[in-house]
């Protein structure tokens, strides 16, 4: 057995640090042989990272895992442990941290109707099926959920819905709202002309939800429906913002990110520079406003990080970061706005191609993610330090005066002050070294939250929005 295999079985750290200038790359842990389709990571209250994967070696139904910043990898739950996979199977989307400290997600298959479920999982591994999809309310969700400012979860299913799917068969997918107790309301059913196969959602600062569909749209003659960008309010008012035509990209496969007031996204294929080393185009990065004003930011060539299957994140340096499987074994790329794309780091070669998931910037300032896998090599968890400092983040980045804000970070023990855009919180509680709560004070306005700890001053990565 190889040393790597021993590390997998023991579930302990197998770290390899590589430094390059101000960068420090560390392989924290390897997954077992046969693991594929590992999701992006999400940070929990305890400072550890949580995600899902599809492990071919244990029945192929998928699991939920936890990995600490030091690399201890633990399986929390294996899907399809109930009869007829009533608990769901094959979870592809990232998890979402709830205000109760539990994680919420979806499975593409299984459940009471075999069409997927929405679930809740505590950090200790207690699992609950919240909803089994039935077709009319959507089927086969393969994206994660978003926790919105109203306290509800919103998501999308790749097929199903209550509307016939013009030109694509039955059911082009649906957008739904779900309470923390599992009550699901369908907000929109796609018909093909407005998209087919919606991906994960993101909530904008205006309170509306924004997303993409992998297929569909109005340009059926250009590429059979290259996908769309859409907007939907939490009340269900739907607007189709853009239909891709291949030259401006095709098949967006990831959630959007809002930066500097606009939304940025990626397409897996298409672009004007088509067939240059990519059979159907190398993809694009685009931006779009809340009203639908669209522009192509970057068209990938083979070798500069194309074929993105994941989205981008805005880091504390103001740049957008993503992972690409293009160029050898995959890499981390950055977009310096407005339009400069740079390769930040290329992954090690021993584990095959990688870069299929979006990285996470944790509150210690470093990037964490997955490389390798997807039927080619063994996936691994990595950390990448680029010199960015620690900060604090929120479970929900908005609230009203008198409500309690949940804050993630590190070194909170001994905290002496929490301020909301300069106004001190009269009441705050240090729950643990990585999690505290603070009551939004009277007079607070939208802006940065600053936490003063014995180790230094921590500023939030985004502004906390004060609602009415």
What is the residue-averaged pLDDT of the chain?
90
Q: What sign does the dihedral 266-267-269-272 (CA atoms) show?
A: negative
Mean pLDDT value across residues 102-124: 97
**Is the confidence at residue 351, as pLDDT, over 60?**
no
Buried b (16+ CB within 10 A) or exposed e, 439-465: bbbeebeebbbbbebeeeebebbbbbb
Distance CA 439, CA 215 (A): 44
Q: What is the DSSP letter of 89?
A: B
Predicted local confidence at residue 281, as pLDDT: 83
Given pLDDT bands bounded at 50, 70 and 90, which one contains residue 6? very low
Half-sphere exposure of 112 (CA within 13 A, CB side): 9
Which of 106-120, 182-196, 289-303, 407-421 has the weakest average pLDDT? 289-303
* Domain-wise residue ranges, the chain: 393-466
pLDDT digits (tens, 9 = 90+) for 384-399: 999 999 999 999 999 9
Distance CA 66, CA 49 (A): 6
- Is the full-model pTM beyond 0.85? yes
Phi-psi bin for 377: left (phi > 0), alpha (psi -120 to 50), beta?
left
pLDDT digits (tens, 9 = 90+) for 18-27: 544 579 999 9
First to last CA, the chain: 60
Percent of the residues in the chain that have a pLDDT greater than 90, as a whole number: 75
Spell out where 320-397 has E strands: 320-324, 331-336, 340-346, 360-361, 367-373, 376-385, 393-394
CATH superfamily of 393-466: Immunoglobulins (2.60.40.10)
pLDDT digits (tens, 9 = 90+) for 409-468: 999 999 999 999 999 998 999 999 999 999 999 999 999 999 999 999 999 999 999 986
Predicted local confidence at residue 12, as pLDDT: 38
Given pLDDT bands bounded at 50, 70 and 90, which one contains residue 356? confident
> Do residues 190 and 198 lie in contact, with contact meaning Cβ atoms separated by under 8 Å?
yes
Q: Is 85 helix (H, G, I), strand (E, B) or coil?
A: helix
Given pLDDT bands bounded at 50, 70 and 90, which one contains residue 129? very high
> Do residues 54 and 60 lie in contact, with contact meaning Cβ atoms separated by under 8 Å?
yes
> Do residues 103 and 95 lie in contact, with contact meaning Cβ atoms separated by under 8 Å?
yes
Q: What is the DSSP letter of 80?
A: S
Q: What is the DSSP letter of 390?
A: P
**Is the confidence at residue 80, as pLDDT, over 60?**
yes
**Is the confidence at residue 70, as pLDDT, over 90?**
yes
Q: Which residues pair with 53 in a beta bridge?
A: 63
Predicted local confidence at residue 8, as pLDDT: 35
Q: Is 174 helix (H, G, I), strand (E, B) or coil?
A: strand
Which of 9-13, 56-60, 156-160, 301-305 has the weakest average pLDDT? 9-13
Integer angstrom CA distances of residue 264 from 73, 225, 322, 375, 376: 32, 20, 11, 29, 29
CA-wise closest residue to 263 among 243, 291, 284: 291
pLDDT digits (tens, 9 = 90+) for 187-228: 999 999 999 999 999 999 999 999 999 999 998 877 779 999
pLDDT digits (tens, 9 = 90+) for 312-337: 999 999 999 999 886 667 889 999 99
pLDDT digits (tens, 9 = 90+) for 132-190: 999 999 999 999 999 999 999 999 999 999 988 876 667 899 999 999 999 999 999 99
CA-wise closest residue to 384 among 352, 361, 355: 361
């Amino acid at each position: 057995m190889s040393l790597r295999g021993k590390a997998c079985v023991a579930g302990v750290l197998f770290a390899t640090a590589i430094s390059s200038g101000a960068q420090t790359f560390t392989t924290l842990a390897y997954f077992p042989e046969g693991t594929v389709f590992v999701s992006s990571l999400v940070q929990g209250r305890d400072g550890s990272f949580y995600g899902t994967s599809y492990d071919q070696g244990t029945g192929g139904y998928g699991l939920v895992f936890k990995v600490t910043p030091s690399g201890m990898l633990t399986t929390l739950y294996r899907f399809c442990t109930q009869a007829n996979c009533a608990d769901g199977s094959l979870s592809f989307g990232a998890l979402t941290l709830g205000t109760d400290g539990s994680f919420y997600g979806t499975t593409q298959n299984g459940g009471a109707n075999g069409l997927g479920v929405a679930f809740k999982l505590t950090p200790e591994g207690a699992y609950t099926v919240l909803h089994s999809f039935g077709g009319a309310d959507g089927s086969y969700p393969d994206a994660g959920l978003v926790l919105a400012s109203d306290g509800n979860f919103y998501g999308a299913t790749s097929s199903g819905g209550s509307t016939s799917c013009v030109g694509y068969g039955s059911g082009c997918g649906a957008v739904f709202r779900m309470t923390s107790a599992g009550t699901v309301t369908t907000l929109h059913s796609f018909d093909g002309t407005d998209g087919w196969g919606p991906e994960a959602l993101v909530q904008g600062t205006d309170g509306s939800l924004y997303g993409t569909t992998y297929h569909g749209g109005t340009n059926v003659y250009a590429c059979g429906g290259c996908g769309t960008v859409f907007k939907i309010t939490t009340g269900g008012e739907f607007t189709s913002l853009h239909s891709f035509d291949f030259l401006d990209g095709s098949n967006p496969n990831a959630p959007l990110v809002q930066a500097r007031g606009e939304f940025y996204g990626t397409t897996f294929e298409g672009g004007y520079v088509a067939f240059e080393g990519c059979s159907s185009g190398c993809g694009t990065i685009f931006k779009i406003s809340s009203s639908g004003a669209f522009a192509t930011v970057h068209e990938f060539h083979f070798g500069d990080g194309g074929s993105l299957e994941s989205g981008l994140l805005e880091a504390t340096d103001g740049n957008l970061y993503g992972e690409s499987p293009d160029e050898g074994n995959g890499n981390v790329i950055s977009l310096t706005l407005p339009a400069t794309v740079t390769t930040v780091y290329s992954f090690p070669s021993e584990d095959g191609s990688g870069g299929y998931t979006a990285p996470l910037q944790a509150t210690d300032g470093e990037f964490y993610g997955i490389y390798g896998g997807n039927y080619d090599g063994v996936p691994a968890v990595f950390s990448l330090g680029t010199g960015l400092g620690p900060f604090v983040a929120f479970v929900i980045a908005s609230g009203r005066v008198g409500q309690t804000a949940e804050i993630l970070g590190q070194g909170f023990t001994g905290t002496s002050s929490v301020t909301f855009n300069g106004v001190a919180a009269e009441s705050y509680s240090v729950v643990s070294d990585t999690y505290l709560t603070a009551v939004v004070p009277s007079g607070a306005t939208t802006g940065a939250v600053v936490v003063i700890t014995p180790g230094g001053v921590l500023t939030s990565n985004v502004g906390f929005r004060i609602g009415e």
